[in-house]
Amino acid sequence: RLRSAPLTVRFVTNTTKESKRDLLERLTRLGFDIAEHEIFTSLTAARNLLEQQQVRPLLLVDDKALPDFTGIGTDNPNAVVVGLAPEHFHYKMMNRAFR
Q: Are 59 and 69 in contact (CB under 8 A)?
A: yes
Distance between CA atoms of residues 71 and 57, nearest Å:
12
Q: Read off the pLDDT of residues 48-61 as tens digits, 9 standing for 90 and up.
A: 999 999 999 999 99
Residue 1 inside a domain? The answer is: no
Half-sphere exposure of 97 (CA within 13 A, CB side): 15
CATH at 78:
3.40.50.1000
State which residues form the domain around 19: 11-98
Q: What is the pTM of this model?
A: 0.86
Question: Is residue 83 in some structural domain?
Answer: yes
- Cα→Cα distances 24→7, 13, 19, 40, Å: 20, 12, 9, 11
- Cβ neighbours around 23 below 10 Å, total: 21
Residue 35 lies in a domain: yes
For the chain, the straight-line distance linking the first and the last C-alpha, in angstroms and rounded, comes to 51
3: in domain = no
Structural domains counted in the chain: 1
Mean pLDDT of the 49-78 span: 96
pLDDT at site 1: 84
